[in-house]
Amino acid sequence: MRLVSPFRKLLCLIFVSTFLLTSGSVAFAGEIVDTIERSFTVSGRFTISLRNGDGRTRISADSQSQIRVKAIKEVHRAGSREEAQRIAEQVQVRIEQSGNQVEIEARYPRHIGGFFGNEPEVLVHFEVTAPKSSDIDARSSDGSLDVYGFDGRIDLITGDGDLTADNCSGRIAAQTGDGSLRIESSRGEVSAHSGDGKITLDGVFQGLEAKSGDGRIDVTARAGSRMEKDWSIRSGDGNVRLILPEGFAATLDASTSDGRIDSEQPITMEGSSSKNRLTGKLNNGGYRLRIQTGDGNINIRKS
């Protein structure tokens, strides 16, 4: 018979006690404690103005003449259901109509959420549907921000969360601190900025500006794209890949500090060129297409 030492028994008791305490907290991790819903019947062009903290935000277009808003409060790391409810009540959700604008906001007290990640945290997730012709002005601190299907003026900012705009047209301005940024199936004028994250753009563009601190930039300009003013694509150190349609006209100015430049597009050379610098005309030239990267490569391809 194998004897268990008193010291080993003590270790077992400490392990079991810790497990039970941890299990009690885990039961309330990710607890959804409240859901708020509002709807507004609208006509004409409306603006959705949304401000959120760390929760997810999704704004989608539909064919109805209503703006519908759902706010979901989710609490993490609360010690009990009662504590989760009490913490959630401190975060105020405001959903109001003011003229031709619907204002949506999550107001967080300063003391909720600790620096060390061990205090209770409240996330507010927004799900919004609105007519396709709505303008969107959405801001998020760190949560993801997804927008689908609108035709108008679209301004999107998130601190560190990922940002997606899909099947949107008009004027699209998107900015994220360190998250990835993706704009697909778009039409019109696009401005995309990311601190360090990757940028992926795909659509029919008339205006284009893309800038990333260190991330890769991939741009696919579909058939029908044309330059109505100068375009700019800049990355601090990431690679740049640009796919252009047949017959695309531009005056190219591409440069990289340490990378190389490759082009499948026929270019009428202007001035001197090297592996780090390429200037010339695509299809008799036009507005300036400027591409810059610090240490990355530049690759220009045919669609």
Per-residue model confidence as pLDDT tens digits over 122-134: 999 999 999 999 9
User: What is the model's pLDDT at position 101?
Assistant: 96
**Encoding tokens for residue 34?**
């409240």
Domain boundaries, the chain: 28-139, 180-303
- What count of residues does the chain have? 303
pTM for the full model? 0.86
| 3-class state of residue 198 by DSSP | coil
Mean per-residue pLDDT, 158-181? 96
**Encoding tokens for residue 274?**
């090297």
Picking from 241, 302, 232, the residue whose alpha carbon sits closest to that of residue 267 is 302
**Which of 273-277's residues contact partners 24+ apart within 8 Å by CB, and which partners?**
none
Mean per-residue pLDDT, 151-169? 96
User: What is the model's pLDDT at position 1?
Assistant: 41
User: What is the model's pLDDT at position 111?
Assistant: 60
* Cβ atoms of residues 53 and 142 within 8 Å: yes
Reported as a pLDDT band with limits 50, 70 and 90, residue 19 is very low
CA–CA distance from 56 to each of 21, 163, 184, 192, 227 (Å)? 29, 10, 19, 20, 35
User: What is the model's pLDDT at position 76?
Assistant: 92
* Cβ atoms of residues 47 and 103 within 8 Å: no
Tell me how far apart the alpha carbons of residues 243 and 245 are, in angstroms, rounded to a whole number: 7
pLDDT in tens, 34-90: 999 999 999 999 999 999 998 999 999 999 899 999 999 999 989 899 999 999 999
Reported as a pLDDT band with limits 50, 70 and 90, residue 7 is very low
Tell me how far apart the alpha carbons of residues 59 and 150 are, in angstroms, rounded to a whole number: 9
State the average pLDDT for the chain: 88
Tell me how far apart the alpha carbons of residues 48 and 60 are, in angstroms, rounded to a whole number: 11
